[in-house]
Amino acid sequence: MEAPVKLVDLDRPRAQPPRNTPFKAKPSIVIGFATEPATVPVEAYDILLSTAGNAPRPWVACADPGATASRLADVVTERTEAAVALVQVLRMGRRLGLADRLVAESLAYSVLQGGAAFKHWLATAPRPSPRPSAQPVRLDRDGDRLSVTLDRPWVRNAIDAATRDALCEALTVVLADPSVARVDLRGNGPAFCSGGDLAEFGTSHDPARAHLTRVGQSAAALIMRCADRITAHVHGACVGAGIELTAFAHRIVAAPDTRIRLPELGMGLIPGAGGTASIPVRIGRHRTAYLALSGTSLTARQALAWGLVDEIVTGQDPQEAPPESVTAPH
């Protein structure tokens, strides 16, 4: 079967994207590339690539747009089901509210959990032993300010079911207590959060039941409801759920060593912790699709330029280190 991807060289005269809709019988992922950003109907494309270093949203700057487009086409060929599901969910998201986007994402994620690509990944990927914590999330109250700290540093704060439940409990407390004026979300140890705990991946053998759990016990949905009070402080690895959840926060402050990545497509999945809802609000669906399809790692400065983080600071608290901070332009 031909890979459902169309590459459009926008430097060629009269280059036209194919007609495309989210529910087309044979959907194509449309990737446009050009030396300089061109005037094109951007909604007809899923990713736009250019060599221009200051390429405006939704364009992604890269050294060789044609070669990058070809590499992305190879990813689509290798992970067709997940790639198509990703762009369909992102396209649908344009017409949905955030809460409905979470449901659409979870439904697609559950379908992919039953797919051959994810099953192959489960059968071949190294599986670490579970390393649970008696207190995976630590709460510290100081007046009207609450610190919520992921506290499993030995696994770079990977989120297992117990961590998810503890985070949901903390956020429920915030929602029930209007005297909490500010919430600081942090991660203890060398990394903010390395994503979902691989020790638990695939342990649920019922994707339908997993969907109900995912939408019924959703840290993303709870963060959305109190986002205006949340400042996330990220550092080191900020992978998968680590960025998907924090992207809902009103403000994200990053340490210079922050590295952001969405690795799920390599497992035959799409982001499943709210990333297809939260990240496009900050950087748009085109750059979200690029981040997920390429698996590339964004530095703190790249994330700042895109608007995925709001400030870079060297200290743990931006109020303590203003001379060392860099803020995103508005």
pLDDT digits (tens, 9 = 90+) for 71-127: 999 999 999 999 999 999 999 999 999 999 999 999 999 999 999 999 999 999 988
Cα–Cα distance between 89 and 22 in angstroms, integer? Answer: 8
Cα–Cα distance between 169 and 33 in angstroms, integer? Answer: 45
Phi, psi (degrees; rounded to nearest 5) at 9: -80, 105
Strand partners, 311: 253, 327
Cα–Cα distance between 21 and 92 in angstroms, integer? Answer: 9
* Exposure b/e, 102-115, CB count within 10 A at least 16 = b: bbbbbbbbbbbbeb
Mean pLDDT in residue range 121-142: 93
Start-to-end C-alpha separation, the chain = 45
230: confidence class by pLDDT, cuts 50, 70, 90: very high
Cα–Cα distance between 284 and 156 in angstroms, integer? Answer: 28
The residues, ordered by sequence, that sit 6+ positions from 326 with a Cβ below 8 Å of its Cβ are 301, 304, 311, 312, 313
Does the bond joining 130 to the residue before it have cis omega, within 30 degrees of 0? no
Residue 325: is its pLDDT beyond 90?
Answer: no
Residue-by-residue DSSP string for 89-130? HHHHHTTS-HHHHHHHHHHHHHHHHTSHHHHHHHHHS--PPP
Cα–Cα distance between 189 and 157 in angstroms, integer? Answer: 8
Q: Where do the structural domains in the chain lie, given as residue ranges?
A: 5-78, 100-327
Mean pLDDT in residue range 293-315: 95
The domain 100-327 belongs to what CATH superfamily? Answer: 2-enoyl-CoA Hydratase; Chain A, domain 1 (3.90.226.10)
16: confidence class by pLDDT, cuts 50, 70, 90: low
Name the DSSP class of 316: S
* Cβ(288)–Cβ(297) below 8 Å: no
* Cβ(308)–Cβ(291) below 8 Å: no
What is each CA distance from 98 to 147, 174, 209, 225, 283, in whole angstroms? 25, 20, 22, 11, 15
Provide the whole-model pTM.
Answer: 0.92
The residues, ordered by sequence, that sit 6+ positions from 28 with a Cβ below 8 Å of its Cβ are 4, 5, 6, 18, 20
What is each CA distance from 307 to 1, 207, 310, 327, in whole angstroms? 38, 34, 6, 10
pLDDT of residue 323: 37
State whether residue 136 is helix, strand or coil: coil
